[in-house]
Amino acid sequence: QGCTQKYIVKNYFYYYLFKFSAALGEEIFYITFLPFTYWNIDHSVSRRMIIVWSIVMYIGQVSKDILKWPRPLSPPVVKLEMRTNAEYGMPSTHAMAATAISFSFFTATTNQYKYPFELGLVAAFVFSTLVCLSRLYTGMHTVLDVIGGALISAVLLMLLYPAWDTIDHLLLTSPFCPLFSIVVPLVLCYNYPKLDYYSPTRGDTTTILGAAAGATVGFWLNNQYAAPAHTSKSFQPGFPLVTSAMVLVLARFFLGILVVLLTRWVMKSVVLGALGYRYKFPIHDLQARRRLEVEVPYKFVTYSSVGFTATVIVPLLHELLGLM
């Protein structure tokens, strides 16, 4: 499973297009696009996207390890990725995440911003389709995996949509929100389906739930202390984006990403060091880091700190520096 096949790229346009599209379903996209939405577009849109994303991804990851459908055989398939090769295939969580994020963003913004409905629908469809096709191109999924992932995500979106406002209201106002947001994801992570061999699915699921938990606590705190909800008016179609507005958007984004990445690096070092001291293992011991009692707290604390920083600390810095 750790070996890569040699291959020759004959069409560099497709190669880079689908390699880039595959990255739209990975951490690098989540850690940039979701905070960007919160800092520069609209708090309510970002909250709904994060709620849907975390629920959809948890169900998708667990489904993989319950169904245990293998990925495409290689050979004959040439696989362009190896990190997730140890995971099972059905459903494609890339397809689920792309469908959930693109269509939840479209649904959440269509009632708040004036833009052509058809344009938003096409953009959501193109985004999700590119990510789905990338999983076939890179050899990581079958057609059935991808279709199954997209359909499951679509069904979950339809089931969650009527409850969006209720869930959002409870997460902002309930006094039990912080406790619920931390305890429930931790219970789910510690009771993740057990496999006969190590797979990154549990760690990835913990990362997602941890980030969502930290962000949710941040949403609640912001609401309790009457932090002004950011709603971008400069993004309304029909109004040109002036240079000063673009500078503010870029400044908020790059400052925020710098702080978020710094938080992730610091927390990884601190938490892993503490766990290494507690369980007596060197921090570079990969096998020790995969143990349940290490992996779950390590990833959960790290990424809940990232979620909290993105929703509380970074906006405070933006306000302090006059970037709001």
Q: Which is the catalytic residue, given 94, 169, 284, 318?
A: 94
Question: Does 43 participate in catalysis according to the annotation?
Answer: no
Provide CB contacts within 8 A for 277, sequence distance 6+.
Answer: none
Provide CB contacts within 8 A for 116, sequence distance 6+.
Answer: none
Asked if residues 47 and 171 have their Cβ atoms less than 8 Å apart, the reply is yes
Q: Which is the catalytic residue, given 141, 169, 230, 284?
A: 141
- Catalytically active residues are 94, 141
